[in-house]
Amino acid sequence: MKHEHDEKKKEQSLVSDAHVQIKSYLEASYKDIKDVEFSEEYKIDPTGSVQISGHLNNDSSKKFNVIYDPPNKEVVASMVDAEEK
């Protein structure tokens, strides 16, 4: 039981860190990003990368999907419905 709780807590921390890094990446790389909303769903692949999606600027049609590599603290792939800087 405790192990499962610890794993869930570790996973939540990983996703929380990914949210911070992804938000920073989106704001730095794309024009006019005022708000970033993350979906509740995410995937952690066997290599530890986290895939997270959501939408931008309170517009559900402005979607993004990002794969974040936690050990290197970098976005390794992204599809973003916004204009690059």
Distance CA 33, CA 80 (A): 11
- Domain residue limits at 15: 2-80
Q: What is the tens place of the pLDDT at every residue in 61-72?
A: 999 999 999 999
Q: What's the confidence (pLDDT) of residue 2?
A: 66
pLDDT at 8: 80
Q: Looking at the domain assignment, is residue 59 inside a domain?
A: yes
Distances from the Cα of 58 to the Cα of 29, 40, 52, 62, angstroms: 18, 15, 17, 8
> What CATH number is attached to the domain comprising 48?
3.10.450
Residues 10-59: tens digit of each pLDDT = 888 899 999 999 999 999 999 999 999 999 999 999 988 999 999 999 99
What's the total number of domains in the chain?
A: 1
Assigned domain for 85 exists: no
Please check the confidence at residue 5 and state whether its pLDDT lies above 80: no
Q: How far is CA 76 from the centre of its chain?
A: 11
